[in-house]
Amino acid sequence: MEAYRELVSEIQRDVERLRVEFGGVPCPTNCFSCCQNTATMAISEVEAQDLKIGLERLPAQLRTHIRRKAERTIKKLEAHGYSAENIIPDAGMKAIGVIKGTPEGECPMLIAGVCAVYEHRPVICRVWGYPIHNGNELACCHKTFIGKRRQYRPLNYTRYWNECKRLSSELGVEKKTPNCYLVLRLLSE
């Protein structure tokens, strides 16, 4: 976990570099749209271990609220034939289609528009909103850096994700878990 904390520090430095170059936070105030369709996003084990710390620090009432959200999402996904295993191959992209735009599509940890585990959120949540290098592609939220994406050196998301995979493998768990299933697991451990 020490190596993961170093990775998070590196990401924070890289994000700060872009923030300074851009002249501030690129997201509109009070926007949390990117948390609204993330119930099936794939999370690696090393990120899960950090999330667990964040969840354990929450009051019991919030943990219960998060657990119920995750359970409602899983119930809806399973009614459409999904499971923790068959969601992962495309990183949850197809499965989110059946709950997109509904309360069940939301990240279980989003409460009243605020991330309940902000200091412990997964890597993608730390970088989304900034231009990221993802494989051979440049990706960015459609609401930020409009018309300016190529003017900045993007965040090296490929490296961050590869490091997550490497550290997860050191923990003995290579498989990723869809967000809602992971949250339920972490709150049950």
Nearer to ligand SF4, 74 or 109 (CB): 109
Strand partners of residue 133 = 138
Please state the closest distance from residue 119 (CB atom) to ligand SF4, in A.
10
Residue 150 touches ligand SF4, criterion: CB under 6 A: no
Among 52, 69, 76, 121, binds ligand SF4 (CB under 6 A): 121
Candidate list 125, 132, 184, 187; residue touching ligand SF4; CB under 6 A: 125
In this structure, is the dihedral angle defined by the CA atoms of residues 103, 107, 111 and 115, taken in order, positive or negative? negative
Which CB sits closer to ligand SF4, 76 or 121?
A: 121
Burial class (CB in 10 A: 0-12, 13-18, 19+), 7: buried
| Binding test (CB under 6 A) with ligand SF4, winner from 55, 107, 127, 182 | 107
**Which of these, 9, 180, 186, 26, lies nearest to 110 by C-alpha position?**
180
Residue 99 contacts ligand SF4 per CB under 6 A: no
- Judged by CB under 6 A, does residue 33 bind ligand SF4? yes
Taking alpha carbons only, the member of 162, 189, 151, 163 closest to residue 53 is 189
- β pairing state of 42-43 and 110-111: unpaired
91 makes contact with ligand SF4 (CB under 6 A)? no
Return d(Cα 66, Cα 155) in angstroms, integer. Answer: 30
Residues in contact with ligand SF4 by the rule CB under 6 A: 27-28, 31-35, 38, 107, 109-110, 115, 117, 121-122, 125, 128-129, 141, 143-144
